[in-house]
Structure 1
Amino acid sequence: MTILMVALALAAAGLFFRWCEHGRNRRLPPGSMGWPYIGETLKLYTENPNSFFSTRRKRYGKIFKSHILGCPCVMISSPEAAKMVLASKAHLFKPTYPQSKERLIGPAALFFHQGHYHSLLKRLVAASFSPSAIRGSVASVQTIALKLLSSWEHATSPICTLLQMKKYAFEVAMMSVLGGEAEVETEGIRCLYGELEKGYNSMAVDIPGSRFYKAMKVRKALNERLMKIIERRRGKGGGGGLLGNMLRVEAGELTDSQIADNIIGVIFAAHDTTATVLTWLLKYLHDNPNLLQAVAAEQEGIARKLQLEGERGLTWDDTRDMSLTARVIQETLRSASIVSFTFREAVEDVELEGYVIPKGWKVLPLFRSIHHTSDFFPRPHKFDPSRFEVSPRPYTYMPFGNGLHSCPGSEFAKLEMLVLLHHLITTYRWRVVGEEDAIQYGPFPVPKGGLPIHVTHQSRRWEKDSTSFSSISQ
């Protein structure tokens, strides 16, 4: 009976949607809405996103309609349209996510707001993640990186890169939120968050047994743990990190519930995406041994300088000297395009490139499609960091979004990648195990199995012979 009722509800929703669309479809962008309610969600999250977007772009053009995670949407893949949606006419497109993500992250998170509340939160986040603020975080990030890498040394079986990078990204995210102050709930939060994220790309069907239902129960437990930390920190005057900044705003401006939503929002923004980028970084470096050797030479030069200056740790200024490594990160962000698109919602009927986007429809600037357009990036399927020796054209490279709602933690994310790569490349070598070119999807494309690798410790070769250096990935 339950299955029958769900089927009838889906059919009714499909008929209602098609009825609402009737009369407008002459001016709607071309495209397919897929199955009722489900739309094209399964196709998007189970096949190569490059193929998904390029097939529709060839068939319909640079703007087309679809239906994802229960939302009618318009997908755009030109820099001009992206600029309009994200910047020049951003007031017509409010930030949003599918209902499942909004409810699981929390409705008060920074991503979903405009106006005074958004400005307040953006100012607080910027105070914690701007370059001037994170200069002093290098030592803490380095400690976390060294702890992770040392745990690999005695592994007798292949390491799952993605899972290990998730541990690293979570610890760095919690350090930035808590200011490095230990909390007994942290490990429990990590376990709960791992369960919560499984529901992000599910349909928002809140019935017992569904993935979304399970995730919502986890969200409640996660909120309770965060509330304990917030209450304890209030009694101590706030403390450090982003949490301390949020607790020190004027009384009444932020409730504990709003603070909890934004902590989860920061973990969401910093966790899965950063871990996936780091996984692809190891994959691309492994597959390009000449490039790896050049990056290793750059990092060994910095390591040599640290030793000559008294075995000191990395500083912010040291990371500014990693120009080649930084370009490798840029090219990884372009090539892998971890965030394929972002969500906006039309606040009124909007005309775009001769079509009408109805009020309430989602609008998705397709970063991945733009990043893989040969007009902007010649030979887009070739991994080539040298392309970033010249700044890309505006609105053709947007790994962290653009406009008022671009990711405020982008510089911090780059910093944690540079720190980890420095110590990994100068102290270890790694070898990919299994199918080297296989990819899995759900929701982010990642090397199959999360990139299993064998890791071995190595001595610094320049300590033995400062005039020569050979590849560390053999």
Structure 2
Amino acid sequence: MAFIIFLTLAITIFFILIFRIITSSPGSKLPPGKTGWPILGENLSFMVNPAKFISDRMKKYSANIFQTSLAGAKMSIFCGASGNKFIYSNESKFKTWLPPTLVDVLSLTNIDSTSSPWKLFDEQLHKFLRLESMQHYVPIMDTKVREHLEKHWAPFNQVKVLPLSKEFTISLFCNLILKIYDSDQIKELAKPYHTLVKGIISVPLNLPGTPYNHAVKASKLIRDKLVELVRQRKMEVLEKKDHVNVDDVDFLGGLLRASIEGGDFISEMELVGKIVALLFAAFHTTSNTITFLMAHLAEYPDVYEKVLQEQLEIAQSKEKGEILNWKDIQKMKYSWNVVCETMRLKPPALGGFREASTDIHYGGYTVPKGWKVHWSVYSTHIDPVHFSEPERFDPSRFEEKQGRGVYVPFGLGPHMCCGREYARIKVLVFLHNVVTRFRLSKANPNERVIYTPDPVFVDGLRINLCSQKE
């Protein structure tokens, strides 16, 4: 037995040495970096502060590319605007990949973007989120924001912005995407979703008590509720198949109708997984952006005054009680610069993932076929090469257009987030209503920001409110 163990170890060491010799040969040089601990990789360092993780390794190893191990996989991080452009200009060299924890927790049974169900979902989503459609949602969003502020902000002298922004964004999603208006039903989805988000990018250990374990359980609760909803909505669509104005159908209704008319080839579980992922994209990202936007308005009085002036001009051009429209959104130029600067410093998403479908040569190194690839917003957003004094909050940066691949809160190229206009309208409508009603100040100017790995205020950002009338 001892001899067999010794022989196995010897063979293993032999192949490791051979692999190192091969990969260190000219033309096959792996990107610099280290992979950290077995299984854990460098997950813990990444989770503590992704921005610092990227910045430190760009300085230590290479400003173009380095290797690490995240989400249980060997990974190359492509850095800078050149790295972003390389990935999005060489689609044939990469294929879709997501961290296993993300796939499991979001209940994604299919991530093949070339499959028929994926194409159907993508087609209907782009149809729903096209600019022409979004223009009609401005008045609806304005009404929803007013209702939210009247109920959850106006009666109080102090609020916690993060939980309230989450409540608003998930409620709006349920209204517009799923046609759910019942507040109790929305809460039943929201409560486990908060748990799901906390474990979505975590160490993949499905043991009792771990964030990943809690997230998997929460995912099942959400999945069961959505399966029930999908079945109910499918029956409604079938019953009203010939009596529905297509323009009046919500996203889920339109998707189910298209699926049925096309042969019903999208399964319930596949559809539910995509809805959970869509909810994550819509709920998690914009609620964070709204929170940090409010923080910046409270922290920088000069910025607040400029935003207020712009928004008051819009408000004063309207009749009393008149709802915002698309033309009003177009006038919010300085306000959008403030939002852009907020997303530069605290991006709504970390970046994106791919898998190398062939050996890739970049920056003098070789990324072997099968390795995972990540591009990070932080590699450009906080790089002084692109943004002078990158830690300084300065909305005037966006008075000029940024170079391609530099400012990428919504991605780049054909994979750019199709919900960017939805997010822009929602955030600006929220901003308009807050500043025209309230003066803001931080209850705790020293409230810390931690990473989970997304940035969050430890106490949810407590803000003091004072009515503009006062």
TM-score tier after normalising by the smaller chain length: 0.7 to 0.9
Question: Are 1:148 and 2:148 counterparts?
Answer: yes
CA contact (8 A) 2:443 2:464 kept: yes
User: What's the counterpart of residue 222 of structure 2?
Assistant: 222
User: What's the counterpart of residue 245 of structure 2?
Assistant: none
1:367, distance to aligned residue in structure 2 (A)? 1.4
Q: C-alpha root-mean-square deviation of aligned residues, in Å?
A: 2.4
Percent identical: 27
CA contact (8 A) 1:435 1:448 kept: no
Alignment of 1:44-83 (within 5 A): 44-47=46-49, 49-61=50-62, 62-83=64-85
SS at match of 1:83: helix
Distance in 2 (alpha carbons) for counterparts of 1:24 and 1:335: 41
CA contact (8 A) 1:65 1:74 kept: yes
CA contact (8 A) 2:360 2:366 kept: yes
Alignment: residue pair count: 441
1:112, distance to aligned residue in structure 2 (A)? 5.5
Question: Are 1:379 and 2:389 counterparts?
Answer: yes
Q: Deviations over 1:387-417 (max 9, x none)?
A: 2122111111110111222211011011110
- Select which of 444, 452, 463 maps to 1:434: 444
SS at match of 2:31: coil
State the one-letter code of the partner of 2:416. Answer: S
Alignment of 1:225-240 (within 5 A): 225-237=225-237, 240=249
- Select which of 299, 303, 315 maps to 1:287: 299
Q: Deviations over 1:316-367 (max 9, x none)?
A: 1111111111111111111222323211111232222221212222111121
1:117, distance to aligned residue in structure 2 (A)? 4.3
Distance in 1 (alpha carbons) for counterparts of 2:461 and 2:140: 27
Would the alpha carbon gap of residues 267 and 439 (structure 1) be closer, same or farther in structure 2, given more than 3 Å must change? Answer: same
- Select which of 22, 34, 39 maps to 2:20: 22
Structure 1: runs of 5+ lacking an equivalent: 1-13, 462-474
CA contact (8 A) 2:55 2:378 kept: no
Q: Deviations over 1:255-284 (max 9, x none)?
A: 221211111111110111111111111111
Would the alpha carbon gap of residues 299 and 20 (structure 1) be closer, same or farther in structure 2, given more than 3 Å must change? Answer: farther
SS at match of 2:452: coil
Q: Deviations over 1:107-136 (max 9, x none)?
A: 246x66245544332211111112111111
Distance in 2 (alpha carbons) for counterparts of 1:269 and 1:328: 21
Distance in 2 (alpha carbons) for counterparts of 1:128 and 1:20: 53
Structure 2: runs of 5+ lacking an equivalent: 1-11, 239-247
- Select which of 271, 276, 301 maps to 1:264: 276
SS at match of 1:128: helix
Distance in 2 (alpha carbons) for counterparts of 1:418 and 1:96: 32
Distance in 1 (alpha carbons) for counterparts of 2:393 and 2:16: 43
CA contact (8 A) 1:94 1:344 kept: yes
CA contact (8 A) 1:161 1:453 kept: yes
User: What's the counterpart of residue 95 of structure 1?
Assistant: 96
- Select which of 283, 289, 299 maps to 1:277: 289
State the one-letter code of the partner of 1:433. Answer: A
User: What's the counterpart of residue 325 of structure 1?
Assistant: 335
Question: Are 1:243 and 2:252 counterparts?
Answer: yes
CA contact (8 A) 2:337 2:398 kept: yes
State the one-letter code of the partner of 1:95. Answer: T
User: What's the counterpart of residue 371 of structure 2?
Assistant: 361
CA contact (8 A) 1:128 1:176 kept: no
SS at match of 1:200: coil
CA contact (8 A) 1:439 1:445 kept: yes
CA contact (8 A) 1:31 1:66 kept: yes
- Select which of 42, 58, 81 maps to 1:40: 42
CA contact (8 A) 1:173 1:266 kept: no
Distance in 1 (alpha carbons) for counterparts of 2:379 and 2:419: 23
SS at match of 2:352: coil
Alignment of 1:110-149 (within 5 A): 113-114=113-114, 116-149=116-149
User: What's the counterpart of residue 309 of structure 2?
Assistant: 297
Which one has more relative contact order, counting CA pairs under 8 Å at least 6 apart? 2
Would the alpha carbon gap of residues 390 and 236 (structure 1) be closer, same or farther in structure 2, given more than 3 Å must change? Answer: same
Q: Deviations over 1:280-320 (max 9, x none)?
A: 1111122221111011000011111123xx53101111111
CA contact (8 A) 2:48 2:451 kept: yes
Would the alpha carbon gap of residues 283 and 448 (structure 1) be closer, same or farther in structure 2, given more than 3 Å must change? Answer: same
SS at match of 2:237: coil
Would the alpha carbon gap of residues 448 and 195 (structure 1) be closer, same or farther in structure 2, given more than 3 Å must change? Answer: closer
Would the alpha carbon gap of residues 20 and 97 (structure 1) be closer, same or farther in structure 2, given more than 3 Å must change? Answer: farther
Q: Which moved more, 1:63-72 or 1:338-347?
A: 338-347
Q: Which moved more, 1:412-421 or 1:195-204?
A: 195-204
Distance in 2 (alpha carbons) for counterparts of 1:227 and 1:50: 37
SS at match of 1:343: strand
SS at match of 1:397: coil
CA contact (8 A) 1:153 1:456 kept: no
State the one-letter code of the partner of 2:68. Answer: S
Distance in 2 (alpha carbons) for counterparts of 1:457 and 1:315: 24
User: What's the counterpart of residue 186 of structure 1?
Assistant: 186
Distance in 2 (alpha carbons) for counterparts of 1:36 and 1:268: 29
1:180, distance to aligned residue in structure 2 (A)? 6.1
